[in-house]
Amino acid sequence: SKFSSSNTFDFQRSVALHLGRCPQPPVQEDFNVTKYMGTWYEIEKLPALFERGKCNQATYSLLADGTVGVHNAELANGKINSIDGIAKVKDPSQPAILGVSFFKGFPDGPYWVLSTDYQSYALVYSCNDYFGLFHVDYAWILARARLLPADDVSRLHDELTAAGVNVNRLTVSDQTGCDVMA
């Protein structure tokens, strides 16, 4: 069988089940989706199975119908992999809570902007409830540059901890040797 024990380990490390429903952390007040557009680089992430490469980045663009185009790209084995999706604000009174879909017919994944200054950092959280019994959560620390100062990262860790996220599970994203992604 091609399913090795290292794959099992990766899966267990990547997805952590928690009892109970998703937490509801506070999101960015007065979120301005237009100022959020552009490219963001992944600095740290709560392990997510669907991101295997390095140089992970996301580019957001406002579309004519008011939705947001999402272009995620990474470098894996010297090759650029990318996927495109659509993000939508679910409730205009809460613009920092979006749903992102990469495949037609599949439910949107939650995308909560917990905090951002639009120019240097963004803190994003996602959580899926299963039957109201347990949940799986994800988090991303994003930056406008491939590096974010340690004091900013530390402050964002504090925000995640306050939101109930175990920051010890975050992994540092490799943003070196990414010139080909420009």
Q: Does residue 47 belong to any structural domain of this protein? A: yes
Number of domains in the chain: 1
Q: Does residue 127 belong to any structural domain of this protein? A: yes
Res. 12 pLDDT band, cuts 50 70 90? very low
Q: Does residue 1 belong to any structural domain of this protein? A: no
Partners of 116 in the β-ladder = 122
Q: Does residue 3 belong to any structural domain of this protein? A: no
pTM given for the model: 0.87
pLDDT given for residue 96 in this prediction: 98
Convert the pLDDT of each residue in 35-74 to its tens digit: 999 999 999 999 755 557 899 999 999 999 999 999 999 9
Three-state SS at 154: helix
Compute and round to an integer the Cα radius of gyration of the chain.
Answer: 16
Q: Does residue 124 belong to any structural domain of this protein? A: yes
Q: Does residue 44 belong to any structural domain of this protein? A: yes
Question: How many whole angstroms separate alpha carbon 112 and alpha carbon 98?
Answer: 6
Q: Long-range contact list for 159-165, CB < 8 A, 24+ apart?
A: 159/114, 159/115, 159/123, 160/114, 160/123, 160/125, 162/25, 163/23, 163/25, 163/26, 163/114, 163/125, 164/23, 164/25, 165/46, 165/125, 165/137, 165/139
pLDDT given for residue 18 in this prediction: 79
Q: Does residue 133 belong to any structural domain of this protein? A: yes
Tell me which residue range forms the domain holding 155.
14-167
Partners of 38 in the β-ladder = 60
Q: Does residue 125 belong to any structural domain of this protein? A: yes
N-term to C-term CA, the chain: 39
Whether pLDDT at 10 is above 50: no
pLDDT given for residue 1 in this prediction: 38
CATH number for the domain spanning 137: value is 2.40.128.20
